């Protein structure tokens, strides 16, 4: 018994010691969404540049923000979404990007350069982008889907899935009412709240990524989701489609950025440059099926994808669409309203 | 003396890693950011905010669900512990492992799989259709949350009860039978009271996490049923309001500690005033 | 006889209840599509891709290392601490027990965020980086209470004066502890260790907020896939882990049975 114990103790000490890293070479700390990069890209980056990569993941912008804000761990590259980037830049949590160190920036489409949420690309380089729309089962929904109204249709009670996100659900309600998703008008907000509360009885659930599975299984008829998320399902099934409502929707962008206390700013720039190389962007696109901001890469993708709204929507369909802006302190009102929606019966 | 010193390392550890963080949380709960100056000021505003009907109702819902799940775990788990403790010695450890190994599979994976089983097109309902029974809504409601909680916490109820039952002196049971007690009385008057320390440990390890869980209500309740765990998670992560989140946590902690305190009274009186 | 059948059927039902989701997730590791909800044919591609994914393998490594190490340390500390707490004076005992309960009853997010704040403070003081050590400390902190909670009932169950009796008979305290107390509480130690291991292997929230430097575990990797959907590589990994553990348990059980048969033979 004693001997076994000593052996186990020794074994675990060895394990612990082998887990301690040596900090001689350059190690880049990359912090990304889960499963949001083609797995071999990190290895090929290390092969070509000699820079080791420590890779950690997070489930949402807010989780990422909490860790960066607390200043605990050093990260060198992060992947914030548009509104989060704006917020972090405002709070001085980001390092400015030196575009001269990112020659591959020329491959980024003009539409993505100098975005409203980050003028002059001071802090970010675009990675992926997309829209929010309705993924629906044509066998369960036999009419044209082109408006948010269908989510309030009693006919589909118990078959409707909303996205479990304050901003996206509020956006749907605000757009349906014809208001801006970035409104700072409390009355408009309250109206949106009432609309969502009215909808609650016929909503099956506020789903996360599990919503896709529900659509696949036929448990639900429609799901408010991100275009990239929807792609895998749409690509695999003929009877599942993606629609962009005419009232307009949210256009979102995910970008690469560098947090303020990075200790490897040079290497971080190299990484961002590497990710913006057309062949790498293409690799990522084919793995993720999320629209890429890299137009040079776009030239090489399967033409069939370019026809799909979920990858390459017609500009005319995006007339009323907006990008999220950081609401600043007004977020408290959004928070209050969403809590009331969730708590309502 | 050994008795005095053996707990000292942990006392020190717990002061640094449990008490100090707790003090931080208390600190957050009694401060708010003054909307005008942006500075932190002492205030009971956070606790006040909790006393609104919305949050009180969520709190009560959480208590009811957690209690129901705990009781279910107890009713289902006690017999398992009983059967386990009366097995052949050589089989007991094997079954113990069998009970806990499912918990080593990732929680999200298990919950996703549960949904495939509980859904309207899921295994259970498909089976019900085959035998011509009506379908039951087993997902995205309170029942689903309870099933999820029982599924995840059952082993933590069974294990402590088992460890106590296994050491009940069989001579005691023989003595009781010799004195004329039938099997039912042997159970209620001898086995049950002696199992109390294990039952209480089991209830502790189930009720407490059940009260504060948020993933189960989120994934299985369809995010429609907000429990106190969801509120706290929302406040900390999505809304960035650590002050209010901390206040709600303190209220939760106080409530649970109080109810545990009440329950432990039964423990002191084992053998004396058992209400059976 | 009937009684035995009822017992076995009940146990069987419980096992079916506990294992059906496991079987479902194992089946989907062979699914010929990225879906974990709809079956579209058999393939072993996910197993192949799993071994090509260095990040997941790294997570597995850290998950096991942290789980085993934290379980060992928290069990050792938990045993002697439970003993010490049991013999404390009533007031001190109540306080320690309540403090001990805190990590169990606190929502994960509160423990996680609070520990993160503590570690940031320590980092500014001592330069301690987030990484393996901070993660280990966090895991030990939430595991020890479970060990203590599992052992306390056994201590309560002990004959009251057994310690004094041993000392009176001339045993030194350490000897009394090892030879008298330990055997009494052994089932509690095993249970405590099992629960501690379980808590560690499956923890996401606390681990997420207390790790860094590329140290990540399976739970973090999996929960981070919340937006994209869980890749079936994870199902493949879980299936392999499950089969390995089951084989281990069956093997150990067979060995134990053989050894006890040998002992019985010798006794004859």
pLDDT tens-place string over residues C108-166: 889 999 999 999 999 988 888 899 999 999 999 999 999 999 999 888 888 878 888 88
Which of C28, C71, C79, C106 has the highest number of chain B CBs within 10 A, making it the mutation to test binding with B? C106
Do C261 and C156 belong together in one domain?
no
pLDDT reported for residue B276: 26
pLDDT reported for residue A265: 94
Burial class (CB in 10 A: 0-12, 13-18, 19+), C115: buried
Which architecture characterizes domain A25-129+253-306 according to CATH? Answer: 3-Layer(aba) Sandwich (3.40)
pLDDT tens-place string over residues C78-107: 999 999 998 888 888 888 988 998 998 888
Instruction: Determine, yes or no, domain membership for B4.
Output: no
pLDDT tens-place string over residues B70-115: 999 999 999 999 999 888 887 888 888 899 999 999 888 898 889 8
Do C68 and C182 belong together in one domain?
yes
CB–CB contact C65 A71 (8 Å)? no
A124, A125, A122: which is closest to A106 by C-alpha?
Answer: A125
At A9, the pLDDT band (50, 70, 90 cuts) reads low
CB–CB contact B238 A166 (8 Å)? yes
Give B-chain residues touching C150 at CB under 8 angstroms: 159-160, 163, 201
Give A-chain residues touching B222 at CB under 8 angstroms: 204-207
Q: Tell me which DSSP letter residue A145 carries.
A: -
pLDDT of B46 strictly over 90: no
Question: Domain range spanning residue C159?
Answer: 55-225
Which of B29, B99, B101, B256 has the highest number of chain C CBs within 10 A, making it the mutation to test binding with C? B101
Instruction: Give me the residue spans of the domains in chain A.
Output: 25-129+253-306, 130-251+313-343
CB–CB contact C106 B253 (8 Å)? yes
CB–CB contact A204 B226 (8 Å)? no
Q: What are phi and psi of C72, to 5 degrees?
A: -60, -50
Phi-psi region of A121 (alpha: psi -120 to 50; beta: other; left: phi over 0): left
Which of B82, B146, B163, B212 has the highest number of chain C CBs within 10 A, making it the mutation to test binding with C? B163
B94, B90, B81: which is closest to B195 by C-alpha?
Answer: B81
* Binding-face residues of B in 61-80 toward C, CB within 8 A: 76, 79-80
CA distance B77 to A246: 55
pLDDT tens-place string over residues C211-251: 988 899 999 999 999 888 888 999 999 999 999 999 988 98
A132, A134, A145, A133: which is closest to A222 by C-alpha?
Answer: A134
DSSP A169-231: HHHHHHHHTT--TT---HHHHHHHHHHHHHHGGGEEEEESTHHHHHHHHTS-SEEEEEHHHHH
Do C32 and C85 belong together in one domain?
no
Can you list the alpha helix ranges (DSSP code H) found in C127-161?
132-157
Chains that touch B (3 or more CB pairs under 8 A): A, C
Give A-chain residues touching C123 at CB under 8 angstroms: 72
pLDDT reported for residue B271: 36
CA distance C131 to C212: 4
Sequence length of chain B is: 276
**Maximum CA pair distance of chain C?**
71
Sign of CA dihedral B188, B189, B195, B201: positive
A43 CA to chain C: closest CA distance, Å? 9
Cross-strand partners of A241? A136
Can you list the alpha helix ranges (DSSP code H) found in chain C?
2-27, 45-52, 54-86, 90-105, 108-126, 132-157, 162-168, 173-176, 182-201, 205-210, 218-223, 232-267
Do C221 and C235 belong together in one domain?
no
Helix (H) or strand (E) holding A53: strand A52-58
Instruction: Determine, yes or no, domain membership for C49.
Output: no
Q: Please enumerate in sequence order all residues whose Cβ is within 8 A of that of C118, keeping only pairs 6 or more positions apart, or say none.
A: B17, B20, B21, B24
Contact criterion met (CB below 8 Å) for A193 and A169: no
For residues B3, B8, B10 and B14, what is the CA-based torsion angle, rounded to 10 degrees? 130
Question: Domain range spanning residue B136?
Answer: 31-267
Residue B225: give its domain's CATH number.
1.10.3720.10
**Maximum CA pair distance of chain B?**
78
B49: contact with C, CB 8 A cutoff: no
Query: Is A129 in a helix, a strand, or coil?
Result: strand
Give C-chain residues touching B240 at CB under 8 angstroms: none
pLDDT tens-place string over residues B180-212: 888 888 888 888 888 888 898 899 889 988 998
- Those residues of chain A whose CB sits closer than 8 Å to some CB in chain B are 60, 62-63, 65-66, 164, 166, 200, 203-208, 210, 213-214, 217-219, 331, 335, 339-340, 342-343
Indicate the pTM of the whole model: 0.88
Q: Which is more confident, A72 or A334?
A: A334
Query: Is A259 in a helix, a strand, or coil?
Result: strand
* Binding-face residues of B in 166-225 toward C, CB within 8 A: 166-167, 194, 197-198, 200-201, 204-205, 208-209, 211-214
pLDDT tens-place string over residues B262-271: 877 766 544 3
At A16, the pLDDT band (50, 70, 90 cuts) reads low
B179 CA to chain C: closest CA distance, Å? 23
Do C21 and C116 belong together in one domain?
no
pLDDT reported for residue C187: 86
CATH number listed for the domain at residues A130-251+313-343 = 3.40.190.10
Sign of CA dihedral B238, B241, B246, B247: negative
Do C212 and C157 belong together in one domain?
yes
Instruction: Determine, yes or no, domain membership for B141.
Output: yes
pLDDT of A341 strictly over 80: yes
pLDDT of B4 strictly over 80: no
Do C187 and C74 belong together in one domain?
yes
Q: How many domains does chain C have?
A: 2
C99 CA to chain A: closest CA distance, Å? 26
Instruction: Determine, yes or no, domain membership for C50.
Output: no
CA distance B116 to C38: 9
Query: Is A263 in a helix, a strand, or coil?
Result: coil
pLDDT of A255 strictly over 90: yes
Q: What are phi and psi of C235, to 5 degrees?
A: -60, -40
Q: Which residues of B91-111 are buried (b: 16+ CB within 10 A; e: fewer)?
A: ebbbbbbbbbbbbbbbbbbbb
pLDDT reported for residue B213: 87
Do C94 and C2 belong together in one domain?
no
C123: contact with A, CB 8 A cutoff: yes
A208: contact with C, CB 8 A cutoff: yes
Contact criterion met (CB below 8 Å) for A141 and A222: yes
Q: Mean pLDDT for chain A?
A: 89
At A3, the pLDDT band (50, 70, 90 cuts) reads low
How crowded is residue C62: how many other Cβ atoms within 10 Å of its Cβ?
A: 21
pLDDT reported for residue C229: 84
Contact criterion met (CB below 8 Å) for B158 and B235: no
* Binding-face residues of B in 91-120 toward C, CB within 8 A: 93-114, 116-117
CA distance B124 to B143: 14
Sign of CA dihedral B22, B26, B28, B29: positive
Of the three residues C191, C208, C225, the one that is the final residue of a domain is C225
Three-state SS sequence of chain B: CHHHHHCHHHHHHHHHHHHHHHHHHHHHHCEEECCCCCCEEECCHHHHHHCCHHHHHHHHHHHHHHHHHHHHHHHHHHHHHHHHHCCCHHHHHHHHHHHHHHHHCCHHHHHHHHHHHHCCCCHHHHHHHHCCCCCCCCCCCHHHHHHHHHHHHHHHHHHHHHHHHCCCCHHHHHHHHHCCCCHHHHHHHHHHHHHHHHHHHHHHHHHHHHHHCCHHHHHHCCCCCCCHHHHHHHHHHHCCCHHHHHHHHHHHHHHHHHHHHHHHHHHHCCCCCCCC
Do C3 and C83 belong together in one domain?
no
Do C253 and C208 belong together in one domain?
no
Instruction: Determine, yes or no, domain membership for C184.
Output: yes
CA distance C147 to C196: 7
Q: What are phi and psi of B241, to 5 degrees?
A: -100, 85
CA distance B227 to C245: 35
pLDDT of B143 strictly over 80: yes
Contact criterion met (CB below 8 Å) for B200 and B208: no
Instruction: Determine, yes or no, domain membership for B40.
Output: yes
At A8, the pLDDT band (50, 70, 90 cuts) reads low
Instruction: Determine, yes or no, domain membership for B273.
Output: no
Q: How many domains does chain B have?
A: 1
B64, B66, B62, B60: which is closest to B210 by C-alpha?
Answer: B66
pLDDT reported for residue A184: 92
pLDDT tens-place string over residues B222-244: 888 888 988 898 889 888 889 99
CB–CB contact A56 C211 (8 Å)? yes
CB–CB contact B223 A207 (8 Å)? yes
Do C156 and C192 belong together in one domain?
yes
Burial class (CB in 10 A: 0-12, 13-18, 19+), B255: middle
Do C33 and C102 belong together in one domain?
no
Contact criterion met (CB below 8 Å) for C203 and C16: no
């Amino acid at each position: 018994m004693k001997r076994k114990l000593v052996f186990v103790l020794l074994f675990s000490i060895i394990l612990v010691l082998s887990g301690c890293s040596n900090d001689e070479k350059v190690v880049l700390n990359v912090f990304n969404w889960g499963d949001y990069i083609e797995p071999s890209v990190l290895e090929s980056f290390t092969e070509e540049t000699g820079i080791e990569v420590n890779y950690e993941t997070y489930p949402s912008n807010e989780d990422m923000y909490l860790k960066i804000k607390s200043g605990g761990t050093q990260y060198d590259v992060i992947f914030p979404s548009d509104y989060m980037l704006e917020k972090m830049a405002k709070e001085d949590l980001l390092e400015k990007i030196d575009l001269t160190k990112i020659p591959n920036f020329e491959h980024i489409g003009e539409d993505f350069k100098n975005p409203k949420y980050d003028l002059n690309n001071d802090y970010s380089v675009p990675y992926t982008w997309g829209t929010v729309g309705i993924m629906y089962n044509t066998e369960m929904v036999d009419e044209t889907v082109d408006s948010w109204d269908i989510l309030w249709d009693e006919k589909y009670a118990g078959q409707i899935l909303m996205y479990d996100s304050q901003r996206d659900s509020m956006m749907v309600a605000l757009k349906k009412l014809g208001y801006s998703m970035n409104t700072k008008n409390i009355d408009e907000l309250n109206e949106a709240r009432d609309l969502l509360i009215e909808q609650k009885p016929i909503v099956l659930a506020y789903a996360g990524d599990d919503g896709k599975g529900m659509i696949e299984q036929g448990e639900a008829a429609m799901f408010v989701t991100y275009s990239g998320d929807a792609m895998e399902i749409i690509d695999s099934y003929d009877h599942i489609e993606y629609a962009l409502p005419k009232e307009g929707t949210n256009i979102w962008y995910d970008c690469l950025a560098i947090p303020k206390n990075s200790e490897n700013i040079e290497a971080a720039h190299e990484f961002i440059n590497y990710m913006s190389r057309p062949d790498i962007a293409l690799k990522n696109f084919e793995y993720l099926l999320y629209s890429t901001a890299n137009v040079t890469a776009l030239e090489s993708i399967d033409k069939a994808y370019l026809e799909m709204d979920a990858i390459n929507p017609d500009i005319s369909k995006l007339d009323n669409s907006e990008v999220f802006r950081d609401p600043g302190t007004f977020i408290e009102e959004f928070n209050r309203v969403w809590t009331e929606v969730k708590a309502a019966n | 003396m050994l008795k005095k010193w053996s707990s000292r390392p942990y006392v020190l550890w717990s002061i640094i890693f449990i008490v100090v963080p707790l003090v931080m949380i208390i600190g957050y709960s009694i401060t708010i950011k003054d909307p005008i100056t942006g500075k932190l000021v002492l205030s009971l505003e956070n606790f006040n905010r909790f006393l609104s009907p919305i949050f009180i109702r969520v709190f009560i819902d959480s208590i009811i669900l957690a209690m129901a799940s705990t009781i279910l775990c107890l009713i289902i788990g006690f017999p398992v512990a009983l059967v386990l403790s009366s097995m052949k010695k050589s089989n007991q450890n094997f079954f113990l492992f069998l009970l806990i190994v499912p918990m080593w599979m990732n929680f999200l994976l298990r919950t996703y799989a549960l949904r495939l089983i509980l859904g309207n097109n899921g295994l259970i309902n498909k089976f019900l259709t085959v035998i011509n029974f009506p379908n039951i809504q087993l997902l995205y409601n309170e029942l689903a949350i309870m099933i999820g909680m029982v599924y995840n916490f059952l082993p933590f109820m069974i294990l402590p009860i088992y460890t106590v039952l296994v050491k009940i002196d069989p001579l005691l049971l023989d003595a009781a039978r010799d004195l004329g007690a039938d099997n039912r009385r042997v159970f209620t008057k001898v086995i049950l009271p002696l199992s109390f320390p294990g039952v209480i440990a089991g209830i502790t390890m189930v009720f407490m996490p059940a009260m504060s869980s948020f993933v189960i209500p989120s994934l299985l309740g369809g995010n429609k049923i907000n429990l106190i765990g969801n509120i706290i998670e929302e406040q900390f992560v999505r809304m960035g309001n650590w002050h209010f989140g901390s206040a709600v946590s303190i209220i939760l902690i106080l409530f649970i500690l109080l109810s545990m305190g009440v329950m432990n009274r039964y423990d002191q009186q084992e053998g004396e005033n058992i209400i059976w | 006889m009937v009684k035995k059948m009822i017992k076995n059927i009940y146990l069987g039902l419980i096992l079916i209840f506990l294992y059906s989701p496991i079987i479902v997730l194992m089946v989907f590791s062979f699914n010929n599509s990225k879906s974990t909800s709809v079956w579209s044919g058999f393939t072993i591609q996910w197993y192949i891709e799993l071994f090509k994914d260095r990040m997941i393998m790294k997570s597995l490594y850290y998950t096991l290392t942290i789980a085993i190490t934290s379980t060992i340390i928290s069990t050792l500390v938990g045993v002697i601490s439970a003993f010490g707490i049991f013999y404390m004076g009533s007031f001190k005992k109540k306080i320690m027990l309540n403090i001990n309960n805190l990590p169990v009853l606190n929502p994960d997010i509160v423990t996680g965020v609070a520990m993160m704040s503590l570690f940031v403070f320590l980092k500014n003081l001592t330069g301690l980086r987030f990484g393996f050590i901070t993660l280990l400390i966090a895991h030990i902190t939430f595991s020890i209470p479970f060990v203590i909670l599992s052992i306390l009932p056994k201590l309560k169950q002990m004959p009251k004066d057994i310690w004094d009796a041993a000392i009176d008979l001339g045993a030194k305290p350490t000897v009394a502890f090892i030879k008298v107390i330990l055997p009494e509480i052994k089932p509690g130690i095993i249970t405590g260790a099992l629960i501690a291991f379980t808590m560690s292997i499956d923890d996401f929230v606390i681990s997420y907020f207390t790790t860094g430097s590329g140290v990540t575990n399976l739970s973090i990797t999996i929960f981070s896939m919340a937006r994209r959907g869980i890749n079936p590589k994870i199902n493949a990994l879980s299936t392999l882990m499950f089969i390995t553990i089951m084989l281990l348990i069956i093997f150990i059980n067979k060995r134990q049975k053989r050894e006890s048969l040998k002992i019985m033979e010798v006794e004859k």
